[in-house]
Amino acid sequence: MKLRCKIIIFLSFLLIFTSLLICVAGAGTDIREEINQFPGFSGILIKDLNTQEILFSHNEDKLFTPASLAKIFTLLSALEILGEEYVYQTSFYFSSTVPGEINGDLYVVGSGDPTQSPEVIRKIADDLVQKFGIRHISGDIVLDNSKFLPEEFLGRGWMWDDKNPLIGALTVMGYKVKEKQNSYLNTMPLLWGNIFSQELSKKGVKIEGNIRIGKTKENLRVKYIYYSDTMDKILAYMMKKSDNQSAENIFRTLASEGNPDEVSTIARAIASLEEVIDTSLGLKWGKDYILVDGCGLSEYNLTTPAHLVKAITYLYQKYDFKILDYFASTKEKGTLKERRPFQVWGKTGTLSSTSALAGILQTKNKRWIVFCLMENNFIFIEEENDPKIFENRIIEYIYENL
C-alpha cells in the first residue's frame, strides 16, 4: 500500500514537471516565431524573479542601444548614492539692514532641482516676499548656476536636431529646445530668473538692477532655502513619465554627493555611476557596458538585456516589491497605461530604430517574472513591423504560458 502511494506521488510530480516543460517549451516556440518574423535585431531575457531560473533567452548578452531603459541604472544609482530622502536645495543670499529692503544684490544658488516648474518658481518668489516683506531690491538678481558645469547644458551624444531638455543647476521643468547649431549657454538660468523676477514685480517689489549670471559673495549668509520633494517622488515621476530632464539632472547630481564644493561634470557623473554599478552589479564601464547620460537620449549608450534584468533583480532583492512604486504600470497613468489588459510594471524605451521594454509581471499562473526586451536596427514601415506590437506579443506569451 505504501509502495503504491509512493508510485502515485512520483508519477504526479513527473506529470507536473513534464507539463511545465511543455508549457515553457511551447512559449519558447511562440517567442521564436515572433523573433523570426521581426525585421530587426532583438534581444530577450526572461527569468523567474525569485529563483532566477532562465525561462527564455535570445541575444541576452549582446549590446543594444537602451534608449530610456538607461533610466533604470539612474534609478539604481540615485537610490544607492543619494537615497530616497534626498532633497535639492535652492538657496537665497542677500543683505538687509532695513525691513523690506535688500541692500545690493539678491543671489540665487541652484543645486539641480528638476521639479521647479514655472508655478513652483512663482511660489518661491511669493514665499520670499511673504517671509521677508520684500518691497525693494537695490541691486541685481544674480543667478549662481555653477553647481553644474554651465557649458554642459546638453547631454553627451545627444542629437542636435532632437527635442532636447536643457540641463543646469537652475532648471525650468519641462523646457526643451530644438534648433541646430545654436548655443544655449545660460538660456535656462536666465529663463528661471525672468520667471522669478516677473513674479516679484507682480507682488509689488521694485527691482533696480538686472538679471545676470554670477557667483555668490562669500561673506553673505543664506537667508532662505527652498527644499524640493524627496528623491523617491522625483524618481517615481522620472520613471513613470520617462522624463529626460529630471533623469539627466539626477545623473549630474550623482557627482556632487560627497563633493559639495566641486562642480558637477558629465565625466564625474559617469565616474559616480560607474562606481555604484561596479559595486552593486559587478559590471565594468567600457568593458561590459557604456552609459554617458542618465536619461538614454545618447546614441553612445550600450548595454544588454542581461544587464538590465540584473539591475531590476538587484533592486527587487534590496527593496522588495516597494521597487514597483518606481515603475510605470498598465493600471495607472504613465508610459504603460492600458498597454496590456493585465498588470505589468516596467520601463519603456524609444529612439529612432530603437525600442525596449523591461520590468516585472505576475503571470496567469501566479509566477513572478523579470524580463527585458530590446530591439535595434529595425525599419518601422507598417503596423506589422511595429516593435511595440512585437513586445506586446512577447509579454502576452509570458503572461499566458509561464
User: Tens of pLDDT along 328-348?
Assistant: 999 998 999 999 999 999 999
pLDDT digits (tens, 9 = 90+) for 256-287: 887 777 899 999 999 999 999 999 999 999 99
Q: What are the tens digits of pLDDT across the range 42-95?
A: 999 999 999 999 999 999 999 999 999 999 999 999 999 999 999 999 999 999
* Residue 297 pLDDT exceeds 70: yes
With residue 19 as reference, give the H or E element that holds it: helix 2-37
pLDDT greater than 80 at residue 204? yes
Whole-number average pLDDT of the chain: 91
> Which segments of 203-338 does DSSP mark as H helices, in order?
231-241, 244-253, 266-281, 305-319
**Overall average pLDDT of the 350-368 stretch:** 96
CA-nearest of 148, 88, 132 to 113 is 88
Alpha carbon distance 239, 72 (integer Å): 8
Q: What is the pTM of this model?
A: 0.91
C-alpha 31, offset from chain centre: 29
Over residues 158-172, the mean pLDDT reads 90
191 alpha-carbon distance from chain centroid = 24
Banded pLDDT at 112 (limits 50, 70, 90):
very high
| Three-state SS annotation for 167-195 | CCCECCCCCEECCCCCCCCCHHHHHHHHH
Cα separation, 114 vs 124, whole angstroms: 14
The CB density around residue 61, as the number of other CB atoms within 10 Å, is 12
pLDDT value, residue 14: 44
Q: Which residue has the higher pLDDT, 7 or 395?
A: 395
If pLDDT is split at 50, 70 and 90, which confidence band does 22 have? very low
Residue 178 or residue 233, greater confidence = 233
pLDDT at 182: 63
Closest alpha carbon to 391 in 334, 330, 331: 330
Predicted confidence at residue 181, as pLDDT, reads 52
Which of 23-27, 37-41, 90-94, 312-316 has the lowest average pLDDT? 23-27
- Listed in sequence order, the residues at least 6 apart from 88 whose beta carbon sits closer than 8 Å to its beta carbon are 111, 112, 113, 114, 115, 227, 228, 253
User: Would the pLDDT of 120 be above 50?
Assistant: yes
Whole-angstrom distance, CA of residue 237 vs CA of residue 231: 10
| φ, ψ for residue 293, nearest 5 deg | -145, 175
**pLDDT tier, 4 (very low <50, low <70, confident <90, very high otherwise):** low
Mean pLDDT, rounded, for 365-389: 88
Provide the 3-class DSSP secondary structure of residue 345: strand
| pLDDT one-digit tens code per residue, 361-375 | 999 999 999 999 999
Which residue bears the cell 554670477? Answer: 214
- Res 23 pLDDT > 50: no
Amino acid identity of residue 123, one-letter, is: K
Residue 13 pLDDT greater than 60, yes or no? no
Query: What is the mean predicted confidence (pLDDT) over 237-243?
Result: 97
All structural domains of the chain, each given as residue ranges with its CATH number in brackets, are: 35-83+237-401 (3.40.710.10), 89-228 (3.50.80.20)
Gap between the Cα atoms of 241 and 54, Å rounded:
30
Residue in the structure block whose three cell numbers are 514655472: 118
Percent of the chain with pLDDT over 90: 81
Mean pLDDT of 135-158: 96
Q: Give the mean model confidence (pLDDT) for residues 25-32.
A: 65
Q: Which of the two residues, 290 and 159, has the higher pLDDT score?
A: 290
pLDDT of res. 159 = 85
